[in-house]
Amino acid sequence: MRPWKLLGLAGLAGVAATGAVVARNERQRRALTPDDVRTRLHERHAALSVLPDPEPQPTTGELVAGRSHRVARLLRRR
């Protein structure tokens, strides 16, 4: 019976810790004014617009690592 008690106590501790984290995040979110939120969104947008475009994805004719590489090799054998 003792392992079940320990498991139950661990579950309760996990629920309490999760509730504390959620409450802290909610307090931080509510502390922001609409102007603060707008400023942060503009900063994030500016940071993302500075990043270069990602590399183009390889076409199906090119070999890529992983499962698709094996599939391409099997298809080439036929």
CB neighbours of 32 closer than 8 A, spacing ≥ 6?
40
User: CA–CA separation, 20 vs 3, rounded Å?
Assistant: 26
- Note the pLDDT tens digit of each residue in 30-45: 998 999 999 999 999 9
Q: Where are the domains of the chain?
A: 9-49
pLDDT digits (tens, 9 = 90+) for 2-61: 888 999 999 999 999 999 999 999 998 899 899 999 999 999 999 888 777 677 766 655
Q: Is the pTM of this model over 0.75?
A: no
DSSP letters, 2-24, are HHHHHHHHHHHHHHHHHHHHHHH
